Structure 1
Amino acid sequence: MSYNLKSRFLLLLSFCVVGFNSAFAQSGISLYHLTNSTYQGSNFNPAFFPEGKTFIGLPVLSGIMIDYNGRVNYEDAITTNEIGEREWDIDNFVDNAKKRNYISMEAEISTLHVAWRKSKTQAFSLFVRERIGARGFYGENVVKTAWYGNSTLVGDEIDLSRTALDVRYYREYGFGVWRSIPNRGINIGVRVKFLNGMVSAVTDNKFDGSIGFEENSYIANFDLNSATINTSGLNIIDAGGSDLTSHMISNGNLGAGIDLGAHWKITNELSAAVSVNDLGFIRWKVDPENYLMADTTFRFEGIDLADVGNFEDAYLDSLQNRLQDTTLNRAYTTGLNTSSYASLMYQLTPNDRFTGSIASYIVRGNFRMIYSAAYTRKVGRVLDVSANVSRIPQQGIDLGLAAAVNFGSCQIYMASDKLLRIWDVTKIDAVDFRFGFNLVFNGKGKSPKDDNSDLTHPSPYGKKEKVEKSDGIYWIIRKQKPRPVYEKTRFKDY
């Protein structure tokens, strides 16, 4: 890695170590409430297999997801002065920072999916997806220190316990199996995934520490325990060229994952669904670098953080000096960011359904919960639409909407979980958008040809007779050939 890139990365690391904790804000609860209306429903619960015979996804077009969740919006940093002009007011934003704030950015791209229904009770799928995520948590002291300098923290300290950073990009190749058990009213699904990691930067789970500022001085005392960040792929990105191309196609960062789901029809009207997704790991062996500051105590003397001019150079020089003898090149393993969904559904009519759902996301031991209530409506074979009210971490109550429109064998879907502030761009601090185009063959909701197999019974004329078909008390008699018609005999008069 070049000196410049490494320097910037270490500076980023230092700020993350000072104030970030992992979080996972991805939702998708609106698209989830369409259940099996789209193939993408199986991404949330493998037991949601769509209606139809064969399903094909086109590269990129069949699945694009962008999800951002933060604290900052335009209104937080802008104010109106006495003469009615709009001007920056960073002090207002800094003063209103919460004790714990997180930021999360997620993106997914569907490279390919192919699924087919082998029979009424069994189906299979193959898929490839690109998954990118960056997550972090920052405290109010970090924001105030960066803006006002350390003068606001004289005699106080910043607690760094449970601090973490999680940035990763990986590709998943998957195979799914869906099975229906009609006599028990249960659908189950399993998706096994082979994973290939591209880029990673994660902090050690055991990290702990604090930064204390002495009174009447600018001396900062750092106490860091197991302050480690593991990276993979950064040198390859810096080098570029054919090595980067080869790395992005395939490399030795391998892992495995599994998704599990079930959907149980309790009564004709009531059903329940539960799923657990992304149970697994990735072993990062290609271009690993481990930056360690284990059990370190050191002091910064005479640096005024409000003096931005010399802060970066002084901080980087000191940090690099402490890391240069503790940089290793050893492989490491990261777990996937597991998510789970649980729902109770009430089918009011064949076309109207009410759903209550809970979704949880886990990143390195941290939970984020989403609570949602939704109404879903089928409009013939053309339109499926769902609207919901959800409580989303950091954003509070928000509205979501999802729709799937079918034009013959073509299906278009769109979904968003965050619509309340979309009409006022200045207040947007979170974005969730999903879009895709699917090819669905054999008609959405079209039943396979009836072979009348349910009417087959043993013949009443004895075991040696062939099996015949009956419906209740009536026997179904095979169509007989018509009798031959003979020409009438003509009689002559004598």
Structure 2
Amino acid sequence: MDVRIFLLLIFLSSVAFGQNKQLLYNFESLPQNLMANPGAETSFDMHVGLPFFSQISVSAGSTGITMYDLFKVDDGTINDRIRESLSDLSNRDFFTVNQQMELIFLGWRDQRKRYFSAGIYQELDAFLYFPKDLAILAYEGNKSHMNKSFKFADAAFTAEVVNVFHFGFTNFYSEDLNYGVRAKLYSGIFNAQSINNRGVFRTVPTPEDNNVYRHFVNGLDANIYTSGWASLTDEDMTGMQTMNSLGKKAFLGGNLGLGVDLGFSYYLNDKTKITGSILDLGFINQKKDVENYRYYGNYYTDGIEILFPGPGEERPSYWDDWEDHLDENLQDETYYDSYLTWRPVKLNASVDFGFNEDAEPCNCRKPTGRRRYLQHLGFQWFAIRRPKGFVHALTVAYDKKINDNISGKVSYTVDSFSYSNVGLMVSTRLNKFNFYLAADNLLSYPNLANANNVSVQLGLQLIFNRE
């Protein structure tokens, strides 16, 4: 096999992205905390994000392997390292891409202490499981894997680009409890997915027959669903027409869906707070610009028996006969039925301990009436639903208000990418203007090629407090 196929899969892992924003979660001085928990507390009365810059989130990661594993200098060859990587990776390893950018984000507090927020953000999300069986079949072939059933179910991925319109509020229910709700309207731009595929490919030895091997494809049923893709491949469309089409899809002209975020913050006592949220509990009805592909059937062959024609006899057409046999048993079709996609639901839960009370006369209590502390130690759990189950992360974090203008947070996260993810965030405020910068997996920055996960988040906004 050409090693470029396998290297492409590894390259995809090196530009993979995640959705856990543990540095922003429970950081009360930033509006983006509300996007991770609509029931979060806020220490300000109004915010206006700079369009396109109030939040930009990009992170890269991979599970099971890095680019360094393939290209490190040692005594082995690239083929040796690929074989080693194939052995190390499993069909539960994954590559995921997520990018978010806030187009508009603003919020305000009313006289009843409720905090409202609204905005639009664009999101790209893709998730690919490593198709181990198919990678082994493509790279090593089937000769050394007699009687092994190569599963087509290993091929599973989802990908989408959406614009999200949202409006929500955080309600001060009591001194102990805040809860929040955010409604979402999804405008789908692009979607592609292939999950729940079935079927196996298997080769068995048959030494008693004329041919040594027999090959089977049993129960194949694989589907690829797409929306928004067919129009992008239209050769008659100009570049400007393509951009106009994408713009219409982004602003409610695409496939529409509904969703909701829920969250709460609850105080056990002045210093101890527990929080939780469920995000993107929603769906999109994919019915516009749909083009789906299906491959199905059963097939077996005893191989090709070489025949030697006599004088004047026509030479057998081995390839044509085999192709006809294949087409009779393994079929493909294109169809245009609508389908429903579910958003990747995200769960957050945390417990937070405050200490070192802020005794400034104008800043000693929160809008809810609770005391405010300069330092916090917190523990957070995060999970996101993927086609084969939830992916989890655990974080311990410490944040501190250094002075009226500078706050910081440091975190340590254990997740599917690594057990050594150290993150740091700094938030600065100059008068009403706020800027924050956050980065994960700092220990890997000296050698990014050997990093399983690297992320950067930044944002700019105006933040106001009532006098």
What TM bracket, shorter-length normalisation? 0.7 to 0.9
Change (3 A) 1:107 1:77: same
1:272–1:343 contact (8 Å) kept in structure 2: yes
1:281 CA displacement: 0.2
Alpha-carbon offset, residue 246 of structure 1: 3.5
Check 1:211–1:188 CA distance in 2 against 1; reply closer, same or farther (3 A cut).
Answer: same
Residue 82 of structure 2 corresponds to residue 89 of structure 1: no
Residue type at the aligned position of 2:188 = G
Deviations 1:446-478 (A, max 9, x none): xx45xxxxxxxxxxxxxxxxxxxxxxxxxxxxx
Using the alignment, how far apart are the partners of 2:327 and 2:158 within structure 1? 21
Q: Distance in 2 between matches of 1:320 and 1:137?
A: 31
Q: 2:420 aligns with which of 383, 387, 397?
A: 397
Residue of structure 2 equivalent to 1:208? 198
Q: Which amino acid aligns with 2:382?
A: A
Partner-residue secondary structure (3-state), 1:245 = helix
Pair 1:297–1:197, CA change in 2 (3 A):
same
Residue 37 of structure 1 deviates from its aligned partner by: 1.9
Cα distance in 1 for residues equivalent to 2:130 and 2:215: 19
**Larger CA deviation: 274-283 vs 246-255:** 246-255
Q: Give yes or no for the alignment of 1:155 onto 2:178.
A: no
Deviation at 1:163, TM superposition (A): 4.9
The answer to whether residue 231 in structure 2 is matched with residue 233 in structure 1 is no
Cα gap change, 1:334/1:211 in structure 2, threshold over 3 Å: closer, same or farther? same
CA–CA distance in structure 1, aligned partners of residues 458 and 330 of structure 2: 47
- The answer to whether the 8 A contact 1:373-1:389 is kept is yes
- Evaluate the alpha carbon distance shift between residue 403 and residue 329 of structure 1 in structure 2; reply closer, same or farther with a 3 A threshold: same
State the AA in 2 paired with 1:213: T
Partner of 1:283: 285
Q: CA deviation at 1:26?
A: 2.4
Q: Aligned letter for 1:292?
A: R
Residue number in structure 2 paired with 1:381: 404
The number of residues matched between the two structures is 406
Q: Deviations over 1:393-429 (max 9, x none)?
A: 1423321222211111111112233222122123123
Aligned pairs for 1:91-490 within 5 A: 91-96=80-85, 97-100=88-91, 101-119=93-111, 121-161=113-153, 163-183=155-175, 185-205=176-196, 207-215=197-205, 220-239=215-234, 240-241=237-238, 243-250=241-248, 251-294=253-296, 296-299=297-300, 322=330, 324=332, 326-349=333-356, 350-364=373-387, 366-442=389-465, 448-449=466-467
Q: What is the distance in 2 between the residues matched to 1:320 and 1:170? A: 40
Mapped partners of 2:44, 2:327: distance in 1: 59
CA distance in 1, matches of 2:202, 2:246: 43
CA contact (8 A) 2:103 2:120 kept: yes
Mapped contact 1:273–1:344 kept (Cα < 8 A): yes
Give 1:62 deviation, angstroms: 1.4
Q: After alignment, is 101-110 or 151-160 more displaced?
A: 151-160
The structure with the larger Rg is 1
Contact 1:25 1:368 in 2 (8 A): no
For structure 1, the residue ranges without an aligned partner over 5 or more in a row are 1-11, 304-313, 443-447, 450-494
Q: CA separation of 1:255/1:300 partners in 2, compared to 1, >3 Å: closer, same or farther? A: farther
Give the CA deviation at 1:139.
4.4
Q: Retained in 1: the 8 A contact 2:137–2:150?
A: no
**Is the Cα contact below 8 Å between 2:299 and 2:326 reproduced in 1?**
no
Q: Structure 2 unaligned runs (5+)?
A: 207-211, 305-321, 357-372
Give the CA deviation at 1:345: 0.7
The corresponding residue for 1:32 is 25
Q: 8 Å contact 1:39–1:49 — kept in the other structure?
A: no
The TM-score normalised by the length of structure 1 is: 0.75
Distance 2:273 2:72 in 1: 50
- Superposition deviation, residue 288 in structure 1: 0.7
The Cα of 1:321 is off from its aligned counterpart by 9.9
Shift of 1:244: 2.7
The alpha-carbon distance between structure 1 residues 247 and 181, as it changes in their structure 2 partners (threshold 3 A), is: same
One-letter amino acid of the counterpart of residue 118, structure 2: L
The Cα of 1:182 is off from its aligned counterpart by 3.5
Q: Tell whether the 8 Å contact from 2:440 to 2:453 is kept in structure 1 after alignment.
A: no
Amino-acid identity (%): 21
Offset of residue 230 of structure 1: 0.9
Contact 1:54 1:115 (8 Å CA) reproduced:
yes
Change in CA separation of 1:121 and 1:33 when aligned onto 2, cut-off 3 Å: closer
